[in-house]
């Protein structure tokens, strides 16, 4: 398994268009210089300068409204034809804290569909555990509620606000995608925070879920952290797509949550996604509420952040799943990254 993961990580250096049968592996690009903004100067013009040219960029985002001890890095890609009214896509990485790789998974789609890609990256030395990243730093080490403004789940909306303040985006809503640990982060973000700044979300292959249950304590449910009935209704109505790789059926391993609450949702990620979807559907029906979720299964693909990113791009911007032959090719070769 270790060899397979390393092989997938190497293969992630290649690029595959959504719908293409495959492509040769290409050398990895040179990493952009990491920009450290001057804290004595306004951030917006520094962000505007960092993303002023086409291509990759990386800049530290020290959220003034959040936890000052935990800045994140914005790994971004600006396409050649970018205009501020274009579509912004936020991308949430997995447990590898590899936002630069996840940004790169979207580069082909960014150029094809004129997308601004921004991957907020939560560095491991500041967000070392599932509690601090996947679970949003909602609870402290002693189980107490941390200040709401310090939650990681508030960062994506603040990043969008920063892009608008910098004049980089005038579009009122963005799309947001998360895979693996990023999928855990994203569905919990949508469960606990306002979502009107997002047009839609795709959640790929999370290890387990916070069920839409206000009586079950967080993170197994949404109880005890201030989520209201109205916020639960908002979650159930939101256009969230749960992407499930049909080959993501590993039942053990260091990246698969194995606590009793996770095991109760199913033996593997594919089963747990169905469990969560059905729980949401049942809760909406029980309450007589609109239900906006979809579940899409992806043939041939396992726990693969690159492949699932390209599937999401194809569904959103080409209106279809990549061909079965393409998916089979991706599944055989492995695209890379948790």
For 7-61, the pLDDT digits (tens) are: 333 333 333 333 333 333 334 578 899 999 999 999 999 999 999 999 999 999 9
75 upstream amide cis, omega within 30 of 0: no
Phi, psi of 313, deg, nearest 5 = -60, -40
Average pLDDT (160-184) is 98
Helix axes 229-237, 269-287, angle to 10 degrees: 120
Residues 204-242: pLDDT tens digits?
Answer: 999 999 999 999 999 999 999 999 999 999 999 999 999
With bands split at pLDDT 50, 70 and 90, how would you rate the model's confidence at 167? very high
Alpha-carbon distance of 129 to 134, in angstroms, equals 8
Q: How many other C-beta atoms lie within 10 A of the C-beta of residue 228?
A: 10
In the chain, the largest separation of any two C-alpha atoms, in whole Å, equals 53
With bands split at pLDDT 50, 70 and 90, how would you rate the model's confidence at 129? very high
User: Is 253 a residue whose pLDDT tops 50?
Assistant: yes
Average pLDDT (176-194) is 99
Nearest CA-CA partner of 177 in 145, 200, 158:
200
Average pLDDT (142-163) is 96
Residue 63 is predicted with a pLDDT of: 86
Residue 327 is predicted with a pLDDT of: 98
CATH number belonging to the domain at 2-333, selected among 3.40.50.1820, 3.40.190.10, 3.90.700.10, 3.40.50.720:
3.40.50.1820
Q: Which residues contact 137 (CB under 8 A, 6 or more apart)?
A: 67, 70, 127, 131, 146, 150, 151, 152
pTM of the complete model beyond 0.75: yes
Q: Are strands 55-61 and 72-78 parallel, antiparallel or unpaired?
A: antiparallel
Mean pLDDT over all residues of the chain?
92
Average pLDDT (129-158) is 95
Residues 90-108: pLDDT tens digits?
Answer: 999 999 999 999 999 999 9
Phi, psi of 188, deg, nearest 5 = -75, -35
User: Is 270 a residue whose pLDDT tops 50?
Assistant: yes
């Amino acid at each position: 398994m270790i060899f397979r993961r390393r092989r997938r990580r190497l293969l992630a250096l290649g690029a595959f268009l959504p719908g293409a049968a495959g492509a040769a592996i290409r050398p990895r690009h040179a990493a952009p210089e990491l920009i450290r903004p001057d804290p004595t100067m306004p951030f917006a013009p520094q962000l505007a300068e960092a993303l002023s040219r086409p291509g990759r960029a990386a800049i530290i985002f020290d959220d003034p409204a959040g936890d000052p001890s935990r800045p994140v890095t914005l790994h971004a890609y600006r396409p050649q034809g970018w205009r501020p009214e274009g579509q912004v896509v936020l991308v949430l990485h997995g447990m590898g804290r590899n936002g630069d790789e996840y940004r790169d998974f979207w580069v082909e789609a960014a150029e094809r569909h004129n997308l601004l890609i921004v991957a907020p990256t939560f560095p491991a030395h500041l967000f070392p555990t599932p509690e601090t990243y996947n679970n949003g730093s909602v609870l402290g080490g002693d189980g107490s509620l941390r200040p709401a403004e310090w939650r990681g789940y508030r960062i994506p909306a603040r990043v969008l606000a920063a892009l608008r303040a910098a004049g980089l985006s005038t579009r009122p809503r963005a799309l947001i995608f998360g895979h693996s640990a990023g999928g855990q982060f994203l569905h919990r973000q949508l469960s606990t925070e306002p979502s009107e700044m997002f047009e839609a979300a795709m959640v790929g292959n999370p290890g387990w879920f916070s069920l839409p249950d206000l009586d079950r304590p967080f993170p197994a449910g949404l109880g005890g952290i201030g989520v209201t009935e109205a916020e639960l209704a908002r979650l159930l109505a939101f256009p969230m797509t749960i992407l499930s790789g049909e080959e993501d059926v590993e039942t053990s391993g260091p990246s698969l949550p194995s606590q009793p609450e996770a095991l109760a949702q199913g033996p593997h990620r594919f089963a747990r996604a169905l469990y969560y979807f059905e729980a949401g559907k049942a809760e909406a029906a029980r309450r007589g509420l609109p239900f906006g979720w979809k579940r899409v299964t992806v043939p041939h693909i396992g726990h693969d952040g690159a492949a699932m990113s390209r599937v999401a791009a194809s569904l959103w911007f080409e209106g279809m799943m990549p061909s079965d032959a393409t998916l089979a090719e991706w599944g055989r070769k492995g695209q890379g990254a948790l």
